[in-house]
């Protein structure tokens, strides 16, 4: 198992509230011309809303549970650079900008115009109605490389974003509830000769 202590996790995320004056321009189209695909997932996590927000808001933490993210370099409070695994051992990179940030409640982002895979999204953190944790909802709109062909290739190599989002949220839940993510990898030190 990959084990992490809560103290091993980056926690110096900024706590700033701001909203983009033009939030309507932050999303990609999901019109019938198939110019963008929408991914939406929700999970309930038995952890405080503010702790989940703070962990996610420091994007350097995302590679800990998002398998396809190789690294996120944070430039400042709003801008970051992402390196993500693509199909057939390729790498896709983009710069992203935070367009809305309400501490403990939501984070919304959009890629810059130069992005190889234009995307935008929003994550929301809400207390559950029964008081037993936090409901985390993620919505992402993205344009796969080379349109439908890019999606087909991504599925062949296990990088289909809708499936990956479900796995990543499950791993986020495991990490935040237990401090570790179970893996199926064998530890060579435990193998008897």
Domain of 122 in residue numbering reads as 44-176
Tell me, what's the pLDDT at 94? 93
CATH code of 65's domain: 3.30.530.20
Say whether pLDDT at 166 is over 80: yes
Number of domains in the chain: 1
Mean pLDDT value across the chain: 76
> Average pLDDT of 168-180?
93
Tell me, what's the pLDDT at 186? 54
Say whether pLDDT at 79 is over 90: yes
Cα 130 to its chain centre, rounded Å, is: 26
Q: Distances in Å between the alpha carbon of 29 and those of 51, 80, 136, 137, 141?
A: 32, 23, 23, 20, 8
pLDDT band at 131 (very low <50, low <70, confident <90, very high): confident
Which pTM was predicted?
0.72
Is 37 part of a structural domain of the chain? no
């Amino acid at each position: 198992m990959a084990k992490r202590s809560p103290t091993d996790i980056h926690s110096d995320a900024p706590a700033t509230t701001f909203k983009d004056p033009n939030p309507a321009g932050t999303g990609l189209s999901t019109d019938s011309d198939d110019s963008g695909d929408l991914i939406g997932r929700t999970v309930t996590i038995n952890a405080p809303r503010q702790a989940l927000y703070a962990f996610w808001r420091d994007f350097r933490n995302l590679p800990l549970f998002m398998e396809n993210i190789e690294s996120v370099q944070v430039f400042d409070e709003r801008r970051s650079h992402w390196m993500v695994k693509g199909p057939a051992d390729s790498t896709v990179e983009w710069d992203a900008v935070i367009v809305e940030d309400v501490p403990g409640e939501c984070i919304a982002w959009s890629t810059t115009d130069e992005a190889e895979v234009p995307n935008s999204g929003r994550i929301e953190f809400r207390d559950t109605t029964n008081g037993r944790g936090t409901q985390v909802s993620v919505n992402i709109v993205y344009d796969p490389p080379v349109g439908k062909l890019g999606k087909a290739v991504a599925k062949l190599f296990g990088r289909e974003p809708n499936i990956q989002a479900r796995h990543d949220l499950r791993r986020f839940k495991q990490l935040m509830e237990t401090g570790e993510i179970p893996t199926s990898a064998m530890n060579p030190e435990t193998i008897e000769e």
